[in-house]
């Protein structure tokens, strides 16, 4: 009796270990939903070349990709489909719109057929904005430094770090602020809104400029 119980316990433990390893492998391959918390900061930068020169020799260049982000209309947070070479991702995130280092709660799932997802969600929810950019990613001290050239908006630097817990978030926010200064990015250049909002504002401004003005009224 005791031998059967011991054998059953060993099998149960083994099955649990296999499931954990399988889950870990699927996440590593991007095979399922991933959720995480970021500390992040975004600033406008008119001289990406200077930032790049500073990073060389200090940071590791990871990749440079052209990305197309399609933002959908949702009642809260932001939902976008990111398409790039090698595949796509459906990304939902929530964060406050403030010009400082801030918390972002993120959920990501890989997508094989981005065109179909855009077509379905576009019809179901509506498209809010499309943002096209070239993103150059570097890794420095555990922080992802992203140099973005965004069509129609200009150039920006984003700093991101995955965190766990309130203390880690506060420490990472201080770290991003210090790194922003080290990279020569001014506090006045920190951006509160997302690229989708910036694209929307630019589009609204261009539309208002194109609208004909009513002729002045003349006295009778």
Report domain extents, the chain: 35-205
Spatial distance between the Cα atoms of 81 and 90, rounded to a whole number of angstroms: 5
Half-sphere exposure for 205 (CA within 13 Å, toward CB): 8
Spatial distance between the Cα atoms of 94 and 96, rounded to a whole number of angstroms: 7
Count other Cβ atoms within 10 Å, centred on residue 69: 22
CATH topology of domain 35-205: Hypothetical Protein Pfu-838710-001 (2.40.320)
First to last CA, the chain: 109
pTM, to two decimals: 0.80
Q: Which of 156, 50, 190 is nearest to 147 (CA)?
A: 156
Region for 76 from its dihedrals, namely left if φ exceeds 0, alpha if ψ lies in -120 to 50, beta otherwise: beta
Return the ∠ at Cα 10 (arms to 7 and 13), rounded to 5°: 150
* pLDDT per residue rounded down to tens, the chain (220 residues): 555 555 544 544 444 443 444 344 334 344 699 999 999 999 999 999 999 999 999 999 999 999 999 999 999 999 999 999 988 999 999 999 999 999 999 999 999 999 999 999 999 999 999 999 999 999 998 999 999 999 999 999 999 999 999 999 999 999 999 999 999 999 999 999 999 999 988 888 777 666 666 566 555 4
């Amino acid at each position: 009796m005791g031998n059967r119980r011991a054998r059953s316990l060993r099998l149960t433990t083994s099955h649990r270990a296999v499931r954990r390893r399988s889950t870990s492998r699927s996440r590593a391959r991007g095979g399922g939903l991933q959720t995480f918390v970021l500390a992040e900061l975004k600033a406008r930068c008119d001289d990406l070349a200077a930032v790049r020169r500073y990073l060389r020799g200090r940071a590791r260049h990871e990749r440079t990709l052209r990305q197309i982000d399609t933002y959908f209309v949702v009642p809260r947070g932001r939902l976008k489909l990111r398409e790039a070479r090698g595949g796509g991702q459906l990304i939902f995130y929530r964060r406050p719109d403030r010009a400082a280092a801030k918390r972002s709660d993120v959920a990501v799932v890989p997508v094989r057929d981005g065109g179909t997802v855009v077509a379905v969600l576009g019809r179901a929810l509506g498209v809010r904005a499309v943002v096209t950019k070239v993103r150059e990613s570097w890794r420095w001290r555990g922080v992802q430094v992203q140099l973005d050239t965004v069509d129609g908006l200009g150039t920006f630097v984003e700093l991101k770090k995955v965190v766990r817990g309130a203390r880690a978030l506060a420490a990472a926010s201080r770290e991003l602020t210090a790194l922003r200064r080290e990279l020569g990015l001014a506090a006045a250049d920190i951006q509160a809104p997302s690229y989708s909002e910036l694209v929307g504002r630019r589009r609204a401004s261009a539309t208002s400029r194109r609208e004909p003005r009513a002729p002045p009224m003349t006295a009778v």
